[in-house]
């Protein structure tokens, strides 16, 4: 998980996303006009609810991720916490690559004039990114295919 800023016609908003490292699938995301931890917590809670708990959760060292509420959510769910090294962008390269794609393929082309416009456009982009945008790392499969093709088979009684 990481946060980036999204420029708009006037000002900017913050975007947080929970990404599955293997498939590069965006599991959940949130926008906020402030850098408080609440929108990060909401994104993690949605990802846990929809996709279950991972063994390890990686973030950078931002205050949103080191605060008691965020750390408490992960430890209460028995999820190991991995934090990037200070100034080490390579530790979170998959999310950094996502930010580049989002900005060059959507944000910079649109110049959002409101938070609602940003939320709507980013929702469409993440749907495209997960369902239709192929990734060379997975033999041109989409993140959805890479993610869902590798889930454990359901046990039938």
Separation between Cα atoms, residue 100 and residue 139, nearest integer Å: 21
Residue 106 DSSP SS3: helix
Give domain 2-148's CATH number out of 3.30.420.10, 3.30.1370.100, 3.30.70.100, 1.25.40.10. Answer: 3.30.420.10
Residue 31 token pair? 């926008």
> Would the pTM count as exceeding 0.85?
yes
Separation between Cα atoms, residue 2 and residue 59, nearest integer Å: 6
- For residue range 112-141, list pLDDT tens digits in order: 999 999 999 999 999 999 999 998 888 999
State yes or no: pLDDT of 87 exceeds 70: no
């Amino acid at each position: 998980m990481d946060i980036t800023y999204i420029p708009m016609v006037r000002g900017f908003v913050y975007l947080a996303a929970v990404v599955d490292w293997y498939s590069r699938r965006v599991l959940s995301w949130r926008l906020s006009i402030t850098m408080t931890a609440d929108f990060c917590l909401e994104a993690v809670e949605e990802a846990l609810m929809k996709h279950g708990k991972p063994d390890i959760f990686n973030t950078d060292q931002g205050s949103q991720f080191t605060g008691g509420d965020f750390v408490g959510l992960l430890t209460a769910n028995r999820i190991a916490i991995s934090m990037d090294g200070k100034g080490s962008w390579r530790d979170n390269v998959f999310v950094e690559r996502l930010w580049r794609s989002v900005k060059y393929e959507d944000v910079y082309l649109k110049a959002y004039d409101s938070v609602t416009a940003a939320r709507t456009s980013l929702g469409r982009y993440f749907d495209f990114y997960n369902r239709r945008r192929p990734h060379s790392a997975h033999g041109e499969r989409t993140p959805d295919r890479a993610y869902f093709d590798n889930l454990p088979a359901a046990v039938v009684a």
